[in-house]
Structure 1
Amino acid sequence: MIDALNSMLDSLMDSAYIKSLPFLYEGLKLTLLITIVGLFLGFILGAFTGLGRLSKNGFIRGISTIFVEVVRGTPILVQVLFIYFGISEDLIGVNISALTAAIIAITINAGAYIAEIVRGAVHSIDKGQYEAGRAVGLTERQTMRYIIWPQAFKRMIPPLGNQFIISLKDTSLFSVIAVGELVYQGRQYYNATFEVFETLVMVCIIYLMITIPTSVILRRVERKLDV
């Protein structure tokens, strides 16, 4: 029995599925790096843009709206190609690395969608909260900071988690500019070994190992926060 188990274990460890993991792991690290850094910067961009869409200043509101509509109306694949090939060569005359272009693309793309998350969350807070803040002597900025934003941020958490999953999967498109993320590493591996099925199965499994637990955690957080 033990010999049979050892034999099965040896066969598993020697299979194409397991052999592809070291190569895919390198791509996974880059995928997570692009996603996390891009979303962090995207949240900052999205917060300012979302609040800009609620601004009483027509110019700020207009610029914010144009940014959101343009980015949401174009595919992220086109955006990263434009950043990598168009902006770097034609506009600024500096070659942007593929990794930098990928992070910028995630930042801009996620920022536009996060802007709508922020706008919707802030807009959903009852107007009485604003009036209460002003009634106790807070300025408009202080009311936003201490009363509105904490409540709105709680409502942002579930959609921000969904945006993480979306951005994580969007990184697979960056293989077109040779960013060594998960899908690109998988393609490189199966082009060398011709083990296409096994490699793509492992790529799917790795994505699912991230997205499924994230979805479960988001549902629990949503229930706990009662949003």
Structure 2
Amino acid sequence: MDFAGAYSPDNLAFLMEGFLVTLKIAAISIVLSFLIGGLIGILRYAKIPVVSGVLAVVVETIRNLPLILIIFFVYFGLQDPKIGLEMSISTAAITALTIFESAMLSEVIRGGLNSIPKGQIEASRSSGMSYIQTLWHIILPQALRNMVPPIVSQFISLLKDTSLAVIIALPELTHHGQVIYAQNINYVWPVLILIALMYFVVNYGLSLVARRLEVRKQ
């Protein structure tokens, strides 16, 4: 193992460049999946005829597919230059991660909404509030407090899952690591150790945030 060579200034800068791509892809996917997953979760909770049933089928289908298959499908299946459907590697990765994570988060959000006693809904409605007002002012604020830890856990999973986009050559952390240790077999362990450490630092930080929020909730 050659730690000195693997951790040369150029290699470290190259790894950091890939790590910034990882964080960027993860951040965009997190925001989009939270918005889309939140909307789906609320619509399923509201039990709107037909809409809720269709969304349930879509969500369960996506949740039971491997993420790597979704990445392949988005990048290779949705590309069709003949009709003008083209997307960059980054866009394909964000799209696939958002699709998968939206389905996962929608269940977290729906579960959080269902955790609120039905009596509160009935009390709010009897006091003259509409269903939407009850949902916005009574149910959601309480449900969000219950949902924060599992939502953060999903965000941690999403950050780790960005590494799967290496299969479509996304220039993220894992991809850049492969480029480095392909030059010298003695770089494999040093590079993998550093990559693992970089993922650990960010994910452990997020897990600490989730724990603190859980303590505050109690």
Q: Which TM-score applies when normalising by structure 1?
A: 0.89
Aligned to 2:117: 126
Q: Which residue of 2 aligns with 1:6?
A: none
1:17 pairs with one of 1, 4, 7: 7
Q: CA deviation at 1:192?
A: 2.3
Residue 9 of structure 1: aligned partner: none
The one-letter amino acid of 1:86's match is: G
Q: Report if aligned partners of 1:42, 1:111 keep a CA contact under 8 Å in 2.
A: yes
> Per-residue CA shift, 1:94-130, capped at 9, x if unaligned?
2211100110111111100100011100001011110
Secondary structure, counterpart of 1:96 in structure 2? coil
Q: Deviations over 1:162-188 (max 9, x none)?
A: 001100110111011010111001001
Equivalences, count: 215
Select 1:29's aligned residue among 20, 28, 39: 20
Deviates more, 1:150-159 or 1:92-101: 92-101
Which residue type is aligned with residue 199 of structure 1? V
Where 2:79 maps in the other structure, the secondary structure is helix
Identify the range of structure 1 (18-27 vs 73-82) with the bigger mean alpha-carbon deviation: 18-27
* Structure 2 counterpart of 1:202: 194
Deviations 1:123-168 (A, max 9, x none): 0101111012112211000000000010111111101110011001
- Which secondary structure does the structure 1 equivalent of 2:129 belong to? coil
Partner of 1:220: 212
By how many angstroms is 1:16 displaced?
2.3
CA contact (8 A) 1:50 1:64 kept: no
Q: Distance in 2 between matches of 1:214 and 1:167?
A: 12
User: CA RMSD for the aligned pairs?
Assistant: 1.8
Q: Which amino acid aligns with 1:133?
A: S
Per the alignment, residue 8 of structure 1 pairs with none
CA distance in 1, matches of 2:94, 2:117: 36
Give the corresponding residue for 1:192. Answer: 183
Relative to structure 1, the CA distance from residue 162 to residue 97 in structure 2 (aligned partners, 3 Å threshold; closer, same or farther) is same
Report deviation, 1:15.
4.8
Q: Percent identity?
A: 37
Q: Distance in 2 between matches of 1:53 and 1:90?
A: 36
Query: Kindly tell me: are residues 94 and 62 of structure 1, through their superposed partners in 2, closer, same or farther at Cα, counting changes over 3 Å?
Result: same
Assess, with a 3 A threshold, how the Cα gap between structure 1 residues 156 and 89 changes in structure 2: closer, same or farther: same
Counterpart of 1:40 in structure 2 is: 31
* Equivalent residue for 1:140, pick from 131, 143, 151: 131
Mapped to 1, the partners of 2:178 and 2:79 lie a distance apart of 26
The TM-score, its normalising length taken from structure 2, stands at: 0.93
User: Which of 85, 105, 112 does residue 94 from structure 1 map onto?
Assistant: 85
Deviations 1:17-40 (A, max 9, x none): 354321111111111111111011
Instruction: Write the letter of the residue equivalent to 2:45.
Output: L
**Structure 1 stretches lacking a partner, 5+ long:** 1-11
Distance 2:154 2:21 in 1: 18
